[in-house]
Amino acid sequence: MSFTAHEEAFPRLHRSELFAPGATPALFEKTLRGAADVVCLDLEDAVAPDEKERARRNVVAALNDIDWGGKTVSVRINGPDTHYMYRDVIELVENCPRLDLLMIPKVGVAADVYALDMLVTQIERAKRREAARAAQGRHPRVGFELLIETALGLANVEAIAQASRRTEAMCFGAGDFAATMRAPAMVIGGLSPDYGVLAAANAGAERRFFPGDQWHGAQMRMAVACRAYGLRPIDGAYADFKDPEGYLAAARRAASLGYEGKFAIHPSQVELANAVYSPSAQDLERARRIVAAMEQAAREGRAAVQLDGRMVDIANIRMAQNLLRRAKQGAETR
């Protein structure tokens, strides 16, 4: 039995992931010019059934014809419960050396991921894809993003997290998750006004309703699985793009649980996500002071020090190092 941390997935800056429907190629270059860390060309929910094949052709052409520069490019394929998925995978992996990530929707069991890994591995070997990627200076193999958006997926999330070394991130999809839980309809990613507790009444006082977050348990469980097995937890979509305050609140809740980024379905949401998931100048300065204080303590043979009237120990230095690592990654990407 191992008590050490799992090997970390290939690192990427993943504060924001902006979606563009595969059936609307006019939007592809607009997503490229924006500030999103990851661009996701969508073949799944954003594409009507009679548009699926045309959208696939659009995405293959875009991956080969557009100069994506250093941008991370993902494609959300159709789910394992559809007859579109196998052609999505074959066409993309065989013909698009520039593809960085495949996003797999509605993952329910670890076998879904294992089967896709086997198919992608066979294509890469047959097409010598790793050599083509290396010639571009890119990571040699296609990575996976896994969408946890069903009751079955959450029930198996720990096994799913371990199913493939290609997996880099798991993403929580509140909309489809609510549907599989048969929860009342609401804004995707938003909170239900009915979820909360009614406080006990004090003598002569009016009872008060305290709203809660119905996604907390599911988001926390997925985040724990990600961190246990070296993956990035990413929060899903917030559908009301005309509600920046709601988007920010959702992003901050997820960030407080350790999430690294959030989906954006509209360009206006990208800068909001980038701001929430970037360390502030104040946080970075404190992190540097914590690291310096602990280094001094180590030279003096002490395991903890006081900084600004608070005790600082090894747990604090790990959190500080995480912040500094994220800041460095962001600077290198830009």
Any domain includes 92? yes
Number of domains observed in the structure of the chain: 2
Q: Are residues 299 and 254 in the same domain?
A: no
Q: Are 260 and 219 members of one domain?
A: yes
Whether residue 9 lies inside any domain: the answer is no
Chain segment 166-213, per-residue pLDDT in tens = 999 999 999 999 999 999 867 788 888 899 999 877 766 788 899 999
pLDDT in tens, 271-320: 999 999 998 667 766 767 777 766 776 676 776 677 676 766 666 667 66
Evaluate whether residue 197 is within a structural domain. Answer: yes
Give mean pLDDT, residues 146-168: 97
CATH code, 31: 3.20.20.60
Provide the residue range defining the domain that includes 233: 16-278
User: Each residue of 52-91: b (16+ CB within 10 Å) or e?
Assistant: beebbebbbebbeeeebeebbbbbbbbbbeeebbeebbeb
**149 lies in the same domain as 219:** yes
Residues 176 and 260 occupy one common structural domain? yes
One domain for residues 268 and 294: no
Same domain, 257 and 124: yes
Asked if the structure places residue 138 within a domain, the reply is yes
Show Cβ contacts of residue 263 under 8 Å, excluding neighbours closer than 6 positions. Answer: 17, 19, 40, 171, 234, 235, 236, 237, 238
Specify the pLDDT at position 314.
66
Domain shared by 119 and 219, yes or no: yes
